[in-house]
Amino acid sequence: MKRKILVVEDEASIREFVVINLEHGGYEVEQAADGAAAWDIYTAGEGDFDLALLDIMMPEMDGLALAKRIRGRSARTGIIFLTALSQEMDKVKGLLSGADDYITKPFSPSELMARVESVLRRVAHSSPSPVQQAALVSGDFRLDPRGRSLRRGAERIELTNIELQMMEYFLQNKNRTLSRKDILASIWGEEGGGDLKIVDVNVRRLRMKIEENASTPRHIVTVWGVGYKWAEE
Instruction: Compute the distance between CA of residue 166 and CA of residue 157 in angstroms, rounded to an integer.
Output: 14
pLDDT band at 73 (very low <50, low <70, confident <90, very high): confident
Instruction: Compute the distance between CA of residue 228 and CA of residue 221 in angstroms, rounded to an integer.
Output: 6
pLDDT digits (tens, 9 = 90+) for 132-153: 467 899 999 999 877 778 999 9
Give this prediction's pTM: 0.77
pLDDT at residue 129 is higher than 50: no
Average pLDDT of 102-116?
A: 90
Residues forming beta bridges with residue 34, ordered by sequence position: none
Residues of the chain with CATH 3.40.50.2300: 4-125
pLDDT at residue 111 is higher than 50: yes
Residues of the chain with CATH 1.10.10.10: 136-230
- Residue 112: the pLDDT is 93
- Give me the phi and psi of 104, to 5 degrees please: -90, 130
- Residue 15: the pLDDT is 95
CATH topology of domain 4-125: Rossmann fold (3.40.50)
For residue 214, count other CB atoms closer than 10 A to its CB.
Answer: 15
pLDDT band at 21 (very low <50, low <70, confident <90, very high): very high
pLDDT at residue 218 is higher than 90: yes
CATH topology of domain 136-230: Arc Repressor Mutant, subunit A (1.10.10)
- Residue 203: the pLDDT is 93
